[in-house]
Structure 1
Amino acid sequence: MKSFLAVLTVVATIVVIWYLACIPMNIKGVLDAAERAEEQVMPATAKERRNASALGLVAKNTFAINRVWSVERPRLPAPHQVAQELWKTTVQKKITSKRSLIYHGQVTLSATLLGFVIGTGLGILLAVGIVHSKVMDMSVMPWAIVSQTIPIIALAPMIIVVLYSIGVQGIIPKAIISAYLSFFPVVVGMVKGLRSPDAMQLDLLKTYSASTSQGFWKLRLPSSMPYLFASLKIGIAASLVGAIVGELPTGAVAGLGARLLAGSYYGQTVQIWSALFAAAILAALLVALLGFIERNVLQRMGMSA
């Protein structure tokens, strides 16, 4: 109960700060709109203009405060505007509709999962090689670290152009970008996990004349499971980011990245924020699913999650 109240307090604080931030962000546009409307209905005589100006000052400020949370194209949309857009584009739209965030989320999710599988498989294989080979440890690991210093926003267009030039289109370029972001956490976590058994455990296996493969399957791999799942949670979120980034340079018409692009083109900030929240919710669901799998796997192995 205390943890729930703590989370609720943090969320309420963020929402209040968000509403307050809307005032300085949106007030200028609201006041400009109010002035244009006032000029259109301004009385003809000077006396009438003075009276209208004196009486209308308070009304203008009140109008601005009331309108600052309901601007059609705000600089910063209010929380209820984002929530309404999410409801409208998820519940009130058919899944097959091009305006449905569920439809766009499915497109991004497919590239995310494919890239995650590729990145996880590559990361595990590299980790196994690094742990069992001093040469790979000295050569591959530094390159894996250096690869993450390249900004993905600069690398993604290069990958897409190269793949397009050889006829590879569709989901594959996005999946490769997702795999690029997700493999590194898996490599680091898996290497740490495979090296987690202490010297006494390794010496005990040698005492029983266990082979390298037996040591891997019976000791190193089970010991690495907590580390692996921790890195998978990071990797799945990174994979989702990679899929979205991969949709941006292609001018995609489907996917959460496409919704971000469309909102940017037409100045629909509410659409942009709703797509961002949809991506965050999707990432949270994927991490929660991995957490559920982790608890079940570790319990069956006699470990605590």
Structure 2
Amino acid sequence: MDRARDKIVPVLTILAGLVVVWYVAAVLLNAPFQRDLDRRAGETPDTIEFIAKTLSQPKPTMPAPHQVAENFFENTFLRKITSNRSLVYHAWVTLSSTLLGFAFGTALGIVIAVGIVHVQALDRSLMPWIIASQTIPILAIAPMVVVVFAAVGITGIVPKSLISTYLSFFPVAVGMVKGLRSPEFMHLDLMHTYNASASQLFWKLRVPASVPFLFASMKVAVAASLVGAIVAELPTGAVAGIGSKLLAASYYSQTIDMWSALVAGSIVAALLVTLVGLAGRLVDRSMGARPA
């Protein structure tokens, strides 16, 4: 009980502080437009009334937390899941691309890591190119991928999942390389003393040692995969997904809808990272690790 309280109280304290800062920023950023409205209407509201008006504008520069919360609740719980205005519907469309890209990225990252660890030529030739690939802005790659695949008749989830794969394979590859190389020399020497084969050395020593590194890198990869799916929806003209929701809201200056979609994306990312973390704990326990 005490451990749970020690974890929850700091988080709630920081969250409360962020909400206060958010309200202050909303008042300051919305104030100039509200002053202009009051001047045109010939009104001179007092301070309390003026602050209330800045926090209730229909299209504010920065929406207040309660406006975002109301919009999020309405578009999540009060609409049919199949509705085009439902955040659950948009989140599912983005999530499908995210999970497919994450699966491809994880598999690709593991394969690359195994090759780098066991083939010295790949370590010297492939790793620099992998690192260099991550220096290219994703906003520049996404339209090219979408256009190329559309030219050959491939649209929908596949191009978006490839963008997710591009962002998610890198942390998995780097983490797995580190994990596969993590066994100490003494353990490797002991396996050689027992005359272990290369496959036995890999499956009984390197793979178990790499599991903590794998799941730590998968947490980063799944969040990056979600970002890739959202970014991939922007140049595709998609009619569904969190990215399309953000784009449509920006076109019509619906800042409250925009922030609500961002909150939905953040919640999806938090759930995905939590699920990967739980999977990592289950695997650790199945391998005999003591619960933390």
TM class, shorter-length: over 0.9
Correspondences of 1:200-211 after superposition (within 5 Å): 200-211=186-197
Partner residue of 1:265? 251
Partner residue of 2:277? 291
Equivalent pair of 1:26/1:75 in contact (CA under 8 Å): yes
Separation (CA, whole Å) in 2 of partners of 1:214 and 1:106: 41
Partner residue of 1:142? 128
Tell which deviates more after alignment, 110-119 or 4-13.
Answer: 4-13
- Is 2:30 the counterpart of 1:26? yes
Following TM superposition, by how much is the alpha carbon of 1:123 offset from its aligned partner in structure 2, in angstroms? 0.3
Correspondences of 1:54-69 after superposition (within 5 Å): 57=44, 59=45, 61-69=47-55
- Is 2:175 the counterpart of 1:189? yes
Following TM superposition, by how much is the alpha carbon of 1:60 offset from its aligned partner in structure 2, in angstroms? 5.4
Partner residue of 1:45? none
Partner residue of 1:3? 7
Separation (CA, whole Å) in 2 of partners of 1:116 and 1:95: 24
Deviation readout 1:91-113 (Å, 9 max, x if unpaired): 00110100000000000000000
SS of 1:197's partner is coil
Separation (CA, whole Å) in 2 of partners of 1:63 and 1:227: 54
- 1:122 pairs with one of 108, 111, 123: 108
Separation (CA, whole Å) in 2 of partners of 1:77 and 1:120: 37
Correspondences of 1:244-283 after superposition (within 5 Å): 244-283=230-269
Separation (CA, whole Å) in 2 of partners of 1:124 and 1:70: 50
Amino acid corresponding to residue 36 of structure 1 in structure 2: R
Equivalent pair of 1:31/1:60 in contact (CA under 8 Å): no
Partner residue of 1:235? 221
- Residue ranges of structure 2 left out of the alignment (5+ in a row): none
Following TM superposition, by how much is the alpha carbon of 1:202 offset from its aligned partner in structure 2, in angstroms? 0.7
Deviation readout 1:191-250 (Å, 9 max, x if unpaired): 000000011111111111111111111110011000000000000000000000000001
Separation (CA, whole Å) in 2 of partners of 1:18 and 1:62: 18
| TM-score (normalizing by structure 2) | 0.96
Equivalent pair of 1:34/1:60 in contact (CA under 8 Å): no
- Residue ranges of structure 1 left out of the alignment (5+ in a row): 39-55
Equivalent pair of 1:244/1:257 in contact (CA under 8 Å): yes
Partner residue of 1:36? 40
Deviation readout 1:18-68 (Å, 9 max, x if unpaired): 000111200111122222222xxxxxxxxxxxxxxxxx53x2554322111
> Percent identity over the alignment?
57
Count of paired positions: 287
Partner residue of 1:216? 202
Partner residue of 2:61? 75
Question: What CA RMSD, in Å, does the superposition of the two structures yield over aligned residues?
Answer: 1.1
Amino acid corresponding to residue 196 of structure 1 in structure 2: S
| TM-score (normalizing by structure 1) | 0.92
Amino acid corresponding to residue 12 of structure 2 in structure 1: L
Separation (CA, whole Å) in 2 of partners of 1:242 and 1:259: 15
Separation (CA, whole Å) in 2 of partners of 1:268 and 1:240: 23
Partner residue of 1:42? none
Larger radius of gyration: 1
Separation (CA, whole Å) in 1 of partners of 2:123 and 2:181: 12
Separation (CA, whole Å) in 2 of partners of 1:251 and 1:172: 15
Separation (CA, whole Å) in 1 of partners of 2:250 and 2:31: 21
- Is 2:91 the counterpart of 1:105? yes
Separation (CA, whole Å) in 2 of partners of 1:61 and 1:20: 14
Deviation readout 1:118-149 (Å, 9 max, x if unpaired): 00000000000000000000011110000000
SS of 1:267's partner is coil
Amino acid corresponding to residue 284 of structure 2 in structure 1: L
Amino acid corresponding to residue 233 of structure 2 in structure 1: E
- Is 2:50 the counterpart of 1:12? no
Partner residue of 1:48? none
Separation (CA, whole Å) in 2 of partners of 1:291 and 1:145: 26
